Amino acid sequence: MFAGKTTGLLRRIKSESGSGRTVAMIKSSKDTRYAKDSVVTHDGLKFPCWALPDLASFQHKLGDDEYQKLDVIGIDEAQFFEDLYDFCCKAADHDGKTIIVAGLDGDYLRRSFGSMLDVIPLADTVTKLTARCELCGGRAFFTWRKTSETKTELIGGSDLYMPVCRQHYVSGESAIESTRTVLESFKVPHDSQTEVSAVM
């Protein structure tokens, strides 16, 4: 979050489109923060997209002919798609598409988020992006949730989340741990990175 992953994804998609390839962009219909039929970056950049509940419905929605013509498919907020692995596998391996995936690898508790990490082994390249820690300006690897809401999928922007470095994530965690009793077992399965963009 805030590391410019949507901006980076849009840049890639526009560049592919500029070099004559046919592109399409997909985002999760769970994210209704901005326009429903556009991908919009934090700084206001816009691109038309398909807002879908799952990826399996994409080919049907688009139509077989249009799908065949596609060269490149961009997927934003990919952590929200449960069928990410199967879709990427089929589209890249069997249908010959280039898939550019952007999403969060970890949630606010630094647990693996959706299927994002599952598609890393499928990728040709992986780029880890980092934001700036809102408290010290250092490299931010983690997302700090500002509210006490504990469900994993809580969609929001800077109203709910802020990027933090390791030190401020850990110091914030210990402060919260001592004041909040509902939070049970903490697991920290993954090291570092906040956002991942994978190309297949």
Quickly tell me which residue has 């002919």 as its tokens: 65
Number of residues that bind Zn ion (CB under 5 A): 6
Least gap, CB of 136 to Zn ion (angstroms) = 3
Q: Rule CB under 5 A: which of 35-74 touch Zn ion? A: none
User: Which segment (19-27, 97-105, 138-146, 182-190) binds Zn ion by CB under 5 A?
Assistant: 138-146
Residue among 73, 77, 76 nearest 88 (CA): 73
Q: What angle do CA 51, 110, 35 make, to 5 degrees?
A: 20
Least gap, CB of 167 to Zn ion (angstroms) = 5
Least gap, CB of 88 to Zn ion (angstroms) = 34
One residue of 129, 135, 160, 199 binding Zn ion per CB under 5 A: 135
With respect to Zn ion, which residue has the nearer C-beta, 47 or 161? 161
- The rounded radius of gyration (Å) of the Cα atoms in the chain is 17
With respect to Zn ion, which residue has the nearer C-beta, 27 or 168? 168
Q: How far is the C-alpha of 36 from the C-alpha of 39, rounded, in Å?
A: 8
With respect to Zn ion, which residue has the nearer C-beta, 77 or 195? 195
User: Which segment (61-69, 92-100, 122-130, 137-145) binds Zn ion by CB under 5 A?
Assistant: 137-145
> Among all residues, which ones are annotated catalytic?
77
Instruction: Decide if 45 contacts 7 (C-beta within 8 A).
Output: yes
Q: How far is the C-alpha of 98 from the C-alpha of 88, rounded, in Å?
A: 9
Q: How far is the C-alpha of 171 from the C-alpha of 169, rounded, in Å?
A: 6
With respect to Zn ion, which residue has the nearer C-beta, 122 or 135? 135
Q: Rule CB under 5 A: which of 165-184 touch Zn ion? A: 165, 168
Least gap, CB of 4 to Zn ion (angstroms) = 18
Sorted by sequence, the CB contacts under 8 Å of residue 200 that are 6+ apart come out as: 88, 91, 92, 98, 99, 101, 119, 122, 123, 124
Least gap, CB of 131 to Zn ion (angstroms) = 11
DSSP states along 155-189: --STTTEEEE-HHHHHHHHHHHHHH-SS-------
With respect to Zn ion, which residue has the nearer C-beta, 27 or 110? 110
User: Which segment (70-78, 110-118, 129-137, 185-193) binds Zn ion by CB under 5 A?
Assistant: 129-137
Instruction: Decide if 198 contacts 126 (C-beta within 8 A).
Output: yes
* Residues making contact with Zn ion (CB under 5 A): 133, 135-136, 138, 165, 168
